[in-house]
Structure 1
Amino acid sequence: MARLSALRRCVHAFANPFLFHPALLIGALMIDTSQLTESDLSARLVPVALGGEIMSYGFARCFHEAYGVKTMVISAVDVKVTSSSNLVDYRVVPAMGQGDDAIMDFLRKLGAELAAAGKVAIIFGSADWHARILSQNKEELSQWFAVPYNDFELLDDITQKERFYAICEELGIDYPKTWTFDCADPNVVIDAESFTYPLIAKPSNSARYDLMDFPGKEKVYEVQTPDDLLRIFDLLREAGYDRELVVQDFIPGDDDALRSLTTFSDASGDVRVVSGGRVVLQDHSPARIGNPMCILPERVDRIIEDAKRFCKHVGYRGFGNFDIKYDARDGSYKFFEINTRPGRNTYYVAQGGANIARLLVDEYILHREIPYQEAYGDTLYTCVPKKVIERHVSNPELRDEVLDMYRSGHTGYPYDNPRDTFAHKLYARVTFMHQVQKFDRFMGSGKNA
């Protein structure tokens, strides 16, 4: 189907010279990977990562370990801790900050160049909006790249939080009590006095929201009073956000009540690899709030089975990352959302024993059956020094357990790679130690002193 569509586009392009683009002709050739073997990959495989953040580096480590190849990292900005690595071919591309059309023009040209050179490319991104643009343009991009994302109809459906909760309701998966309000509807009236506070409020469409910039923007809003709720709704509406605002029951508990679960599913929706853990500490800076910074391996039967049923039910393929919170009031685990891409902390799957790059290649390029694996292990995923744990983890038993892992050397920081360049190691150390100052700024210093 992709080959036929490509040929049609080429015919149309020749018929209309104003639409002709060289990449359309070259892309129509499509490289045949049916005879490709793993031994060919060291010379032909080109991973392409959108975004220069920690997720891209974690995948670059795994691609290099598995196949000895560098990952091409495409970013609008120079993220020094990544660009200084000898594991990547880092390219600063202004088009990445110029909207979907500019990005697609760049990817067409890049795909044509790689195909003409006989390369086998796989493309993935580190943000929700990367997932959306790659999924929306999957058919065209598949001329040149393996695109490890679900079809856009599914991706768009399950990332709308109200739809995600409807599926959870259908499958008997626990989720927080939820209300939605359409920011695009001028007639919406919120009876703010009818709620019990505190609440949590967040945009239903995080990919659209991530691209917006306005004063007072937060990833997730804590709602303490009726006035807070009305202010947040008006703030998003006036900023031009035109999807639903999701308002949820606040589930009590600190960061350590949160759980992260990563799954990798095959084309039948069957989960082949699962990993996850208990969030020890999440980022508390307004722009990055909710990103886990330290995760303790922890296996919970119930959430694994719930995630498996969800993926099978919707036919989900590839990496998915579920955000979950333990509710001590009734002992349940409430599912908040699925991120339809690898999370920024996906490297914990590799720490648990499953090479995340090999999963992509086996499923999307070599089309191999992937044996079932639970990748937990005994390594703490962390992006913060132990001083941050000492100061900002309030649960004494958890704090002691985590500090014991620091003392015993059972910790892993994705950027901590002794085989990388001196410059990378320096930037990685600075990034790591900077977390002390950042957490003190947003959480206060000496909390547990």
Structure 2
Amino acid sequence: MLKFQPVLLGSDANVYGMARSFYTQYGVVSDAVCKGVLVACRNTRLVRIAVVEPDLENDEVFVRTLVDYAKAHDYKNCPLLLVSCADGYTILMARHRQELEPYFHFACPELQTVLDLDIKDNFYKACAAHGLSYPKTATCTARNYKNAEFPFDFPVIIKASNSPAYWNCSFPHKKKVFLAHDRAEYDAITTAIYGSSYQDDLILQEYIPGDDNCMRVLNAYCGLDGKVHLMALGRPLLEEQTPEGIGNYAAILSAPEINDPALLERMRAFLEDVGWVGYANFDMKFDARTGEYKLFEMNPRQGRSSYFVTAAGYNLARWLVEDVLEGKDTGFTIADSESLWMIAPYGVIRKYLKDQTLLATAARLKKQGRCAHQLYCKEDRSLKRGLWYLRSQLNYYRKTARYYGNKGLTD
């Protein structure tokens, strides 16, 4: 069997999902290099916390930390496979490709390509250039937000253009995404944001009507040859409701009828035209008014919920390993099996999913055992992890009830 060591950047649920993919496919425990140890990667046999460096997002520290890690391991005889699990780490990997390549194997786009697509207003420009639909969008800055005008009516979605910078800011009632129903709400939200350390642009966007199940999530892997090798389209059933979790998915359905061949072909052409390499993740919503999928964002990594792809039978780790370490031509695959992925308990899905047809499908898949929980792995059971998992699942009921439907500047 191929000998290698996955090195994952971060320690969140995405890291655990990727580590689980590596363990399922290759029986290997992943090392994590991170700023701090989040709960998803505590008390687990699948992730070994190799380095905790609070200043990891500093360029000089990032390079030094990874090079020191590599020199402390047998990188010449046991290849180190470096995987970004957050936007900022992908940017750092792309920026410091030359310093990292002597020690690590990885799939990463060129720096300018990442910067062109990770910043949301740049991404929308790329969508326009490639004929992809996206919501009507405007931007405001720290200088003009009080007087900003936008060519669409309220309600208005407000979100940061620079995700890494926003992640690191703090202010009362902070949410990942806000929804302003009128100008007074808009003024309060933007004033709160720009009263923090975040001073980059904000995206102002028309609200696309429809429940959470109108969303779609696309994960793709693009090889070192610049070709798309894997695409997996999922239909979210419900989103998380907490301030920091808005926009993250609580449950995703995979099924052949979800696939839209025309959409997938357009997305494949887009990724190959821009020269993408490695994992990519897209969030979009079906707009029943126009019959189009409107793209919201592109993440330069696999998505937080991307374990849904592995759960559907298309192990994300395999495509990376076979491309980067084995040099195999894996062709082109569209995931088309039926499965249910959850990070929230099924009881929350059953209570808040309004579409009865989708709920019946979820119930059937659960009964058939064709479902997977992101943070529960039977090979990773222990008393401490089991107690934490039980508490966290029970907490979903409380959190969802408290925050359901709240995207304003309140708790």
TM-score by length of 1: 0.83
Counterpart pick for 2:359 among 368, 376, 399: 399
Q: Which residue of 1 aligns with 2:280?
A: 320
Letter in 1 for 2:347: K
Structure 1: distance between partners of 2:284 and 2:79: 36
1:85 matches 2:44: yes
1:432 aligns with 2:399: no
In 2, the alpha carbon distance for the partners of 1:192 and 1:301 equals 37
Q: 1 CA distance for matches of 2:364 and 2:169? A: 41
Change (3 A) 1:227 1:349: same
Measured after TM superposition, the shift of residue 397 of structure 1 is 2.4
Q: Whole-Å Cα distance in 2 between the matches of residues 187 and 170 of structure 1?
A: 27
* Alpha-carbon distance, 1:92 to partner: 5.7
For structure 2, list consecutive stretches of 5 or more residues without a partner in the other structure: 406-411
- Separation (CA, whole Å) in 2 of partners of 1:190 and 1:269: 43
Q: Distance in 1 between matches of 2:170 and 2:101?
A: 32
Q: Which has the larger radius of gyration?
A: 1
Equivalent residues of 2:250, 2:344 under 8 A apart = yes
2:241 corresponds to which of 274, 284, 291 = 284
Separation of aligned partners in 2, 1:67 and 1:404: 30
Q: CA deviation at 1:126?
A: 2.3
Give distance in 1, aligned partners of 2:36 and 2:378. Answer: 25
- From 50, 71, 83, the equivalent of 1:124 is 83
Question: For 1:96 and 1:254, how far apart are their aligned partners in 2?
Answer: 39
Maintained 8 Å contact 2:171/2:193: no
- In structure 2, the CA distance between the partners of 1:275 and 1:52, relative to structure 1 (3 Å rule), is same
1:417 matched to which residue of 2?
A: 377
Q: For the structure 1 residues 389 and 68, does the alpha-carbon distance in structure 2 shift closer, same or farther, using more than 3 Å as the test?
A: closer
Of stretches 374-383 and 319-328 in structure 1, the one that deviates more from structure 2 is 374-383
- How many Å apart are 1:117 and its aligned residue? 6.4
Determine the C-alpha separation between the residues in 2 that align with 1:83 and 1:92.
14
- Secondary structure of 1:275's aligned partner: strand
Name the CA distance, whole Å, in 2 between partners of 1:169 and 1:438: 38
Shift of residue 309, structure 1, vs aligned partner: 1.6
Alignment-derived partner of residue 208 in structure 2:
251
Deviation, 1:365, is 2.1
State the Cα deviation string for residues 405-444 of structure 1 (Å, max 9, x = none): 2233221113222222323344334333332222122228
Query: Structure 1 regions of 5+ residues with no counterpart?
Result: 1-38, 445-449
* One of 121, 127, 146 as aligned partner of 2:105: 146
* CA distance in structure 1 between the aligned counterparts of 2:355 and 2:161, rounded to whole angstroms: 31
Which of residues 299, 319, 322 is equivalent to 1:359? 319
Alignment of 1:38-187 (within 5 A): 39=1, 41-42=2-3, 45-91=4-50, 93-96=52-55, 99-115=58-74, 118-183=77-142, 186=143
Residue 311 of structure 1: how far off its partner (Å): 0.2
Q: Distance in 2 between matches of 1:313 and 1:187?
A: 35
- The offset of 1:205, in angstroms, is 1.2
Q: Following TM superposition, by how much is the alpha carbon of 1:135 offset from its aligned partner in structure 2, in angstroms? A: 2.2
Q: Is residue 2:411 matched to residue 1:443?
A: no
Identity of aligned residues (%): 28
SS at match of 1:239: coil
Quote how far apart the aligned CAs of 1:264 are. 0.9
Cα displacement string for residues 362-395 of structure 1 (whole angstroms, at most 9, x for unaligned residues): 2222222112212231110111222101221122
- Tell me by how many angstroms 1:294 deviates: 0.2
Q: Which amino acid aligns with 1:329?
A: R
Deviations 1:192-220 (A, max 9, x none): 48741111111111122112222232211
Equivalenced residue count is: 401
> Is residue 230 of structure 2 the alignment partner of residue 269 of structure 1?
no
Q: Which residue number in structure 2 is paired with residue 348 of structure 1?
A: 308
Higher relative contact order (CA 8 A, sep 6+): 2
Seen in structure 2, the aligned counterparts of structure 1 residues 293 and 96 have a Cα distance that, compared at 3 Å, is: farther
CA distance in 2, matches of 1:192, 1:411: 45
Offset, 1:75? 3.1
Alpha-carbon distance change, 256 to 103 in structure 1, aligned in 2, over 3 angstroms? same
For residue 314 of structure 2, give the secondary structure of its aligned residue in structure 1.
Answer: coil
Change (3 A) 1:120 1:239: same
Q: Which moved more, 1:127-136 or 1:78-87?
A: 78-87
TM-score when normalising by structure 2: 0.90
Is residue 164 of structure 2 the alignment partner of residue 212 of structure 1? Answer: no
